[in-house]
Amino acid sequence: MATTTEYPQLSFEFFPPKNDKQQETFERSRDQLAELGPDYMSVTFGAGGSTRTRTFETVRNIIEATGVPAAPHISCMSEDIDSIRDLLDDYRDNGIDRLVVLRGDRPSGGGTGVFDHAVDLVRFIREYYGDRFHIEVACYPEHHPESKTPEADMKHFRAKVDAGADGAITQYFFSAESYFRFVEDVRSRGVDVPIVPGIMPITNYSGLARFSRMCGAEIPLWIAKRIEAWEEAEDMTSLRAFGEEVITDLCRRLLEGGAPGIHFYTLNRWKASTALCRNLGLGKGNEAKRNIA
């Protein structure tokens, strides 16, 4: 069910809002980014029942308000098989065609979900739903923080593709070389699915550092030192201008090197992603600025 387009794929990730203020922020960002005509918007997923409901509600909100296809994340951390089947049935019955399948964060109280790994959930979806869903999975150019070795990490990714994944979205990174090395390694093993770079805009230091520690993403020292100094000096204008320049250059190198598109981790904000798309000539209204071969 994969689609091909003349231009690089463009997609945005959101998280489900938890209160009225977050809902207002989300809807503003949703509308602004929808104007760029993305291929889809994805929505993150939590392990608890209430967060699952919010994911579904947010997916429907996107589709109904904008007409942009939406892809819910679905996690192994559900409590039982029936809850996963019910969720997948709901997505199927509501015309949702794309899923982002992840292992997910383990519940704070410990324990595991129905499946140990994302590959098991991919296999389950293919067994019971055939090709009904386009399945995206995660991959890690700088390696998953829980992997014992890079080789083990690569085997896990290959297994997800062999189980039926149609494509992959990377964890965010700041080194184009890391992405290209990863893709070269993957291709040498006969894996040919599209691997879309996941990109985190730089808009502050403290939040970026916190997220990066959690997910094992490496912030190069030359970036970290500058944005940390600007944040401490409360010079957010300089920080954001620098961040825009750095990420624009990263994305341009990725696209010129053959990356099939860009997936932005928006954190439910629109300004940084919109500026990056404008600089790169991505999305509706920016075509005249597109100079990527």
**9-14 and 195-196: which strand pairing?**
unpaired
Q: Is 13 a catalytic residue?
A: yes
**Could you identify the residue written with the tokens 């959930």?**
121
Q: Model-level pTM greater than 0.75?
A: yes
Q: How confident is the model at residue 158 (pLDDT cuts 50, 70, 90)?
A: very high
Q: Which domains does the chain have, with CATH numbers?
A: 9-281 (3.20.20.220)
- Quick check: 74 and 59 in contact, CB under 8 A? no
pLDDT of 162 above 80: yes
Tens-digit pLDDT profile for residues 11-42: 999 999 999 999 999 999 999 999 999 999 99
pLDDT of 273 above 80: yes
**What is the pLDDT, as a whole number, of residue 2?**
39
Distance CA 210, CA 232 (A): 16
Residue 281 corresponds to which amino acid? G
Tens-digit pLDDT profile for residues 63-101: 999 999 999 999 876 668 888 999 999 999 999 999 999
Tens-digit pLDDT profile for residues 208-261: 999 999 888 999 999 999 999 999 999 999 999 999 999 999 999 999 999 999
Instruction: Say which of 6, 13, 218, 234 is annotated catalytic.
Output: 13
The enclosing H or E element of 21 equals: helix 20-34
The two structure tokens encoding residue 37: 């005509």
